[in-house]
Amino acid sequence: MKTAVTAGIFVLCLGTLSCTDDDVLVIQNPGDPPSGDLTCTSCPEGTACVEGRCVSSSEACSGNSRVCIDGTLYVCDENEWAYLSICEFGCAETQDACAPTGSAESCVQNARRCAGIDVQECRNGQWVTLETCREACDDTTQTCRITETCKDGSRICLDGRLSSCLSGSWNDGDVCEHGCLADQSGCRACAPGTSRCTDSTLEWCEDGVWRELKTCDTGCDESGTSCALTVSCVEGSTACTSGLLHTCRDGQYDDGVSCPFGCSPDAMSCAQCAEGDVRCADRAVERCELGAWKRETACDMGCLASEARCAECRDGSTRCESGAVSACSQGLWGTSTPCPYGCNDAGTACGEPNQNVPTRYLMSDLHSPVTAYVVTQMKSIAARGTGQNDVVFMKIGDSHYDTSFDGKFMKCFSTADSNAVDLGGRNELQPVITAFQSSKDSFLRNSLAAKGGQSTRYSFLTSVSSAQPTPLAAEMSAMKPRFAFFGHGSNDIGNGSFCHTGTTCPSGFSGYAWALQDYYQQIRHVMTDLVSSGIIPLVSGITPNMRSESKINYLSGAPSLYWEWDNPGHMVLTFNAVTRGNAEAMQVPFFNVYLAVNDLTDHGLRSDNIHTSTSGSPCNFTSAGLAYGANQRNLGSIQMLDKAWRTVVNGESAPDKVGIVFVGSGTHTDPVVIDSLPFTHSSDTTSAQNRIGSYAGKCSTASECGGEVYYRLDLKEKKALRVFALSSVKSTVDVDIHVMRGQPQAASCIARSDIMVQGTFAPGTYYFSVDTYCDNGTARPGVYLFGVVECDAGDRNCETVY
């Protein structure tokens, strides 16, 4: 006997039991072997039973024809369908063969997966949504799971199981034979559309609950599903029992004909339709209820017969939402195309470039765009310091910028240096080089604010004598520069392997999270000091760090505590995102030195795997010279200085047009869209609305009584991510990061941290809220930097699965 599964019950065709060749044997309680109530049901007229299914006459067996049903291929053998093979990737569109192996759109038949909060199954080579979970989909079991906190004694129905709360957690629950009620409050008592007759009372199952219809004057029939037929009847009248419609002829009911959808609830006629089915009729969606079609929704723009739902739009119309435009075709919105400048005010098309909005910086750009807005910001900074020298710059950084330590950064441009300069045909750079070969010779100077082995904190640490200024203040006073190269970060990453010597990390802070927030706060400190003095920061990123996974002490003295796996190389892109994000927030130039050197031999590094390489002059910009990291850094730096000097000092026009902009205002209904990775965005929670005061589930119950800003990320595939929210001022600002799956609400929260959440995220829609923490009832809002960065392959800090 052959079996197949249909709609959760076992169906058998043919075999040794008494069903006829065209009958289907339905087993209500499947098992191994199947058992339970066995009933025979005829396939509807015009169909035949094939391997547990009633198939249409168009699939009749003849010759050597084949038919593919639910991923199984059958061949006609002596005018009977016979099993041939299982289609690994489902059926082909023609339904007479298997789908091609390895098809880009195909999947393994009957495989399951979680797609966000949807449980999906592969059918005929395509993913079909079986169920949309109310809360979350479990990647391990591919079923819905419960994340909300429960109270002992409470119950919930999910994924066909009725679960109860015991000791603060949900048990596995009993299987609901007929599924869950629509409101998920319990199990269905019956299958919608079925009937029963008990003690002469006829009942009909509506929405999983038995409803009394009428009292049977003649009692129940033998099947127990209908009233028994009366002995005599009125000529021409009808009655329905056990799915058969009887007509009164010569005073008695005949044997009846089969009702394809069973009897109507009053058992006086055949049902018009199967309970719960939907269809299009007269520009409306109709649903089958109590065996008859009932109007459910009027469709202003027509009804899509193929999908039995209202059309979304009128053909030819367009819309623009969340920074992307789409066109309407056959009643449905098509694929969205991102708009570089957001949507227009009407929400019908892409917007036009706006020169009066901040410029967005992408990590895929070697240099950030110097647009009219950026030029205006730089000129505004310059106006704050009229005593600064327009042809002088200073250096702030670690060994990469310490001329006495390395001697490679910019020094070769000085007329006092013996290294030759070869611009490689870039003669447009000669004027800026000549201009800064002034009496102070910025190229040659050993800056007081650049020292090997130091983190960003060094720049403004008090000197040995309290009467002396900080290195930053001393260099600013000595040079009075208009521009300042900033190049810290490598040693700040090293601080992540431990907290500063003689101390331990604050409670709950991992080393890298602590170091990342500290780095953000310190570079804001340095750049704020520069800007307030009329000095324009020229910011560079961090080069790759290829040191092996081991404990590395970047500060003097032994570390007091190691917090996590210490491979600084895994954190470079994250620290680079913070560096770029801070430059973006201040709208000052940024040079992505990582992008410039990463594809070079040995990533443009020397044998120590951290300092940049060179051969000959580091100011050789021919193709041969640019094969080395130090040369790439010098070229990118002089190009950055050239654009800033030409526009701010010489008054030339902005060289770059406006780039892309951020989409979304940051509210829970209009979140900022995360449209590319890595992503950073600086904002302020001071004026943000407070919707969520605390977060349930796995998240903390800490008070978040201040306002929050929302972000949205749509993942089409699984990704390992590092998500952070950095507070700008240690003493007064405190924001926290919350991760929500599916909906921007407290009950959807799956992770929370003071600074950073790291892990592997399944496909789906995620919302992130940067929420203001309350300290003893006092909110601590302010400026922050939010970011999402993909983790490197092999980064063990991102192994937690969400």
Cβ atoms of residues 757 and 747 within 8 Å:
no
Query: For 10-21, what is each residue's pLDDT tens digit?
Result: 344 433 333 444
Q: What is the pLDDT of residue 145?
A: 67
Burial of 470 (0-12, 13-18, 19+ CB in 10 A): middle
Q: What is the pLDDT of residue 100?
A: 65
The backbone torsions φ and ψ at residue 596, rounded to the nearest 5 degrees and listed phi first, read -70, -30
CA 367, 368, 372, 376 dihedral sign is negative
Task: Using alpha carbons, list the distances in angstroms from residue 204 to 196, 259, 390, 437, 773.
Answer: 7, 16, 88, 94, 54
Which value, in Å, is the radius of gyration of the alpha carbons in the chain? 36
Q: Assign 784 to helix, strand or coil.
A: strand
Rounded distance, CA 576 to CA 787, Å? Answer: 11
Rounded distance, CA 482 to CA 648, Å? Answer: 10
Q: What is the pLDDT of residue 526?
A: 93
Classify residue 236 as left (phi > 0), alpha (psi -120 to 50) or beta. Answer: left
The CA-based angle 658-661-667, given to 5 degrees, is 155
Q: Which amino acid is at 165?
A: C
What secondary structure does DSSP assign to 171-216, as a single string? ---EEPTT-B-TTSSSB-SS-TT-EEEETTEEEEEETTEEEEEEE-
Q: What is the pLDDT of residue 71?
A: 67
Task: Using alpha carbons, list the distances in angstroms from residue 253 to 8, 229, 240, 259.
Answer: 36, 7, 10, 16
> Which pairs with CB-CB distance under 8 Å and at least 24 residues apart come from 427-431?
428/642, 429/638, 429/639, 429/642
Q: Assign 374 to helix, strand or coil.
A: helix
Cβ atoms of residues 573 and 594 within 8 Å:
yes
Q: What is the pLDDT of residue 698?
A: 66
Cβ atoms of residues 398 and 450 within 8 Å:
yes
Q: Which residue has the tokens 């205006």?
A: 376
Rounded distance, CA 763 to CA 118, Å? Answer: 10
Residue 96 CB: number of other CB atoms within 10 A? 14
Query: For 23-45, what is each residue's pLDDT tens digit?
Result: 444 433 344 344 444 455 555 55
Q: Which residue has the tokens 């922050």?
A: 784
Structure-block tokens of residue 759:
């892990």
Q: Where are the beta strands (DSSP E) in 64-160?
A: 66-69, 72-77, 80-86, 112-115, 118-123, 126-132, 136-138, 143-145, 155-158
Task: Enter the pTM of the model.
Answer: 0.61
Rounded distance, CA 762 to CA 133, Å? Answer: 14
| Low-confidence spans in the chain with pLDDT less than 50 | 1-38, 51, 56-59, 102-105, 464, 497-509, 548-565
Q: What is the pLDDT of residue 160?
A: 74
Q: What is the pLDDT of residue 89?
A: 67
Q: Which residue has the tokens 């001022």?
A: 729
Cβ atoms of residues 123 and 148 within 8 Å:
no
Query: For 460-475, what is each residue's pLDDT tens digit?
Result: 765 545 556 889 999 9
